[in-house]
């Protein structure tokens, strides 16, 4: 789904307290940034494995505006969530990334990246738990987005319910939910994993500001 006509929205920078500061408002054209996620390059051909075929004329320099738009949208925090969620169905080619767990190369649509940008901020520490050996085949870390934002309709409803929360407040709410779910299944999650989650929470509370670097799927998009 393509974005509608550009609409300027007031995006609020989050201060150290995690609360919005009116004096730091700035005007940002979020739909324009989302349109910039659409690459000018044709999508490479995916293969079953770590390699894929890039079409003739694929220009990596043309991916620079895509990376820039992705970074800017992520920096806006919850102010961009509404437009991002509205575009989860956009099937235009965005970028090619490496799957973190196996190194396979996959294409991402604009819609997928809109989803990733939201998920990366809500649950920035991802879904792969701290465990010995290969985490595949073992229970993944409880996924808050997978439960409450599993499709566009659910995400829209969730956003309305939490529209007054700062990103810091959202992240604190989510990590408390994750910790509670892990405590309900002690056989599925190691002591080390639960200790890691408690440490992440402690650092979040101590900093009084949201985690800014997140990777929900632990994939490499750069």
Sign for the pseudo-dihedral over CA of 170, 176, 181, 186: positive
Model confidence pLDDT, tens digit, residues 106-130: 999 999 999 999 999 999 999 988 8
Strand partners, 27: 10
Q: In whole angstroms, what is the distance from residue 164 CA to residue 161 CA?
A: 8
Task: Give the distance, in angstroms, between the CA of residue 166 and the centroid of all CA atoms in the same chain.
Answer: 16
pTM, 2 dp: 0.86
Q: Which H or E run contains 36?
A: none
Average pLDDT value for the chain: 86
Q: Which H or E run contains 11?
A: strand 9-11
Name the pLDDT band for 137 (thresholds 50, 70, 90): confident
């Amino acid at each position: 789904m393509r974005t509608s006509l550009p609409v300027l929205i007031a995006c609020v920078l989050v201060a150290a307290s995690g609360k919005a500061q009116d004096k730091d408002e700035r005007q940002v054209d979020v739909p324009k940034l989302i349109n910039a996620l659409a690459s000018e390059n044709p999508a490479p051909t995916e293969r079953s494995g770590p390699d894929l075929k890039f079409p003739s004329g694929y220009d990596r320099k043309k991916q620079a505006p895509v990376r820039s738009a992705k970074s800017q949208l992520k920096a806006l925090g919850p102010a961009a969530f509404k437009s991002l969620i509205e575009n989860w169905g956009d099937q235009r080619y965005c970028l090619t990334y490496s799957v973190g767990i196996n190194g396979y190369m996959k294409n991402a649509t604009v819609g997928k990246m809109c989803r990733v940008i939201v998920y990366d901020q809500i649950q920035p520490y991802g879904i792969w738990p701290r465990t010995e050996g290969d985490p595949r085949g073992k229970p993944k870390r409880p996924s808050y987005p997978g439960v409450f934002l599993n499709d566009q309709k659910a995400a829209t409803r969730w956003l309305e319910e939490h529209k007054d929360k700062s990103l810091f407040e959202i992240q604190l709410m989510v990590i408390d939910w994750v910790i509670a779910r892990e405590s309900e299944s002690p056989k599925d999650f190691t002591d080390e994993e639960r200790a890691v989650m408690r440490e992440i929470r402690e650092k979040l509370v101590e900093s009084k500001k949201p985690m800014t670097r997140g990777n929900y799927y632990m994939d490499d998009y750069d």
